[in-house]
């Protein structure tokens, strides 16, 4: 089972509708054909980690899916969770799902899509310390409760989701905007943020990368590797400042120099350690590089996008960047490590601490080797 998104955000909702309206802002896009698990801190009365998974396919076993998901949820040690199923009917807002238009009390709950799957997940969680506060189905701008069939509070046509400027949704959207993020319409739109060039554009950039690669090799021979690394870092700092000022402009050669530079582990580690960088500007620069880097050279820069995004709490962007890395290089060490951390629900704070320790240890080892060589 793959946790597709693992986010750490918080919201305080005045009711179930407000919380459901906030979910897209918590995960960065409007989910479709998904199960979303919202962790809840009962003491603070706030949400915590939010997980998103694709719904099981016809080839999947629902029982195994439910059991694995329950295990994942229990590992996160939440007090309780809210389980939300998102459809993808393409129906307009207010159009009830099949079977939910009419019938006696009980008909709505019985006929909601994926009812059996939601019951399986709830049953699996019954054997854990994690409580289930509620289960809901969302589609077409409305929501239905799997737990209630009373027409006075849960009508067959569903309940409209509150608008984006209301309650918890407005609070979470505002925080995302301050961090330089916006809520996208779909996961595919998020994938476009790191999708490389295609067709003639890709062919042209492949030629640029091949030429710049030869030029960098010549510079390393004539001026030394450390000088070359310094130039790469200086160029990154320059473009980062421009990104922060909203005037990022990269030539094809600069894209190639920075993306190829990220394949140097020492440069990559120093990029990761840009602690003083403006978060939105840094991620904006990196995603721009990813979009202009052809797949043949894209693993390093997309791995860096994933690492930085996750450190900033943007697990959704981290996941789509990892998808691209692993489609290029299924054995990419850093990408596999980060995916394990995502699926293991390692927090960004813990990840940052591990990263700093690892980089410091690597720097010490390089210094010792350099000193021994000089002696």
pLDDT digits (tens, 9 = 90+) for 218-275: 999 999 999 999 999 999 999 999 999 989 999 999 999 999 999 999 999 899 888 6
What helix, strand, coil percent values describe the chain, rounded to 5? 55, 10, 35
Give the model's pLDDT for residue 103. Answer: 47
Angle made by CA atoms 283, 295, 268, in degrees to the nearest 5: 45
Inter-CA distances, 39 with 170, 282, 294, Å: 19, 29, 38
Same structural domain, 270 and 364: yes
Distance CA 306, CA 321 (A): 5
Same structural domain, 80 and 205: no
Q: Is residue 319 part of a domain?
A: yes
Give the model's pLDDT for residue 125. Answer: 96
Same structural domain, 31 and 106: yes
Q: Is residue 136 part of a domain?
A: yes
Q: Is residue 175 part of a domain?
A: yes
Same structural domain, 186 and 278: no
* Mean pLDDT (the chain, rounded): 82
Q: Is residue 146 part of a domain?
A: yes
Q: Is residue 346 part of a domain?
A: yes
**Whose structure tokens read 């319409």?**
185
Q: Is residue 332 part of a domain?
A: yes
Q: Write out the DSSP string of 244-295.
A: HTT-----HHHHHHHHHHTTSHHHHHHHHT-TTS-HHHHHHHHHHHHHHS-G
Mark which of 190, 209, 238 sits at the end of a domain: 190
- DSSP class of residue 61 equals -
Same structural domain, 28 and 136: yes
SS3 176: helix
Among 118-122, 127-131, 331-335, 338-342, the minimum mean pLDDT is found in 338-342
Same structural domain, 156 and 299: no
With a cut of 60, say whether residue 81 has pLDDT above it.
Answer: yes
Same structural domain, 273 and 359: yes
Mark which of 138, 159, 190 sits at the end of a domain: 190
Same structural domain, 164 and 204: no
CA quadruple 253, 259, 265, 270: dihedral sign: positive
Mark which of 190, 209, 225 sits at the end of a domain: 190
Same structural domain, 39 and 151: yes
Q: Is residue 375 part of a domain?
A: no
Same structural domain, 111 and 232: no
Distance CA 344, CA 223 (A): 44
Same structural domain, 146 and 245: no
Give the model's pLDDT for residue 356. Answer: 64
Q: Residue 91 belongs to what domain range?
A: 5-190
Q: What is the pLDDT of residues 144-202, one digit of tens each?
A: 999 887 777 778 888 888 776 555 555 555 555 545 566 667 788 889 999 999 999 99
Distance CA 175, CA 171 (A): 6
Same structural domain, 199 and 184: no
Q: Is residue 219 part of a domain?
A: yes
Q: How many domains does the chain have?
A: 2
């Amino acid at each position: 089972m793959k946790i597709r998104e693992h986010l750490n955000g918080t919201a305080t909702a005045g009711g179930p509708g407000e919380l459901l309206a906030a979910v897209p802002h918590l995960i960065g896009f409007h989910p479709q054909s998904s199960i979303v698990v919202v962790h809840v801190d009962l003491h603070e009365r706030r949400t915590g980690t939010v997980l998103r998974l694709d719904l099981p396919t016809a080839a999947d076993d629902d029982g195994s899916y439910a059991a694995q998901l329950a295990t994942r949820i229990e590992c996160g040690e939440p007090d309780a969770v809210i389980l939300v199923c998102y459809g993808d009917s393409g129906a307009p807002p207010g159009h009830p799902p099949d079977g939910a238009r009419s019938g006696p009390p009980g008909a709505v709950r019985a006929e909601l899509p994926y009812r059996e799957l939601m019951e399986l997940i709830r049953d699996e969680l019954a054997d854990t310390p994690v409580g289930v506060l509620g289960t809901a189905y969302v589609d077409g701008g409305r929501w239905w409760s799997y737990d209630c069939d009373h027409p006075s509070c849960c009508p067959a046509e569903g309940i409209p989701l509150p608008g984006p400027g209301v309650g918890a949704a407005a609070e979470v959207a505002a925080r995302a905007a301050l961090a330089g993020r916006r809520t996208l319409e779909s996961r595919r739109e998020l994938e476009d943020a790191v999708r490389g060039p295609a067709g003639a554009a890709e062919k042209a950039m492949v030629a640029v990368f091949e030429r710049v690669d030869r030029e960098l090799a010549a510079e390393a021979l004539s001026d030394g590797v450390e000088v070359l690394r310094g130039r790469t870092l200086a160029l990154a700092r320059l473009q980062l400042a421009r990104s922060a000022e909203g005037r990022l402009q990269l030539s094809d050669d600069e894209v190639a120099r920075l993306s190829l530079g990220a394949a140097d582990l020492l440069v990559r580690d120093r990029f990761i350690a840009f602690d003083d960088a403006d978060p939105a500007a840094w991620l904006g620069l990196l995603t721009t590089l990813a979009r202009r880097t052809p797949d043949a050279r894209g693993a390093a820069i997309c791995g860096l996008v994933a690492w930085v995004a996750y450190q900033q709490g943007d697990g959704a962007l981290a996941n789509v960047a990892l998808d691209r890395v692993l489609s290029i290089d299924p054995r990419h060490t850093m990408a596999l490590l980060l995916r394990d951390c995502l699926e293991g629900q390692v927090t960004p704070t813990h990840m940052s601490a591990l990263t700093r320790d690892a980089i410091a240890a690597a720097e010490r080892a390089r210094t010792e080797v350099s000193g021994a060589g000089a002696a």
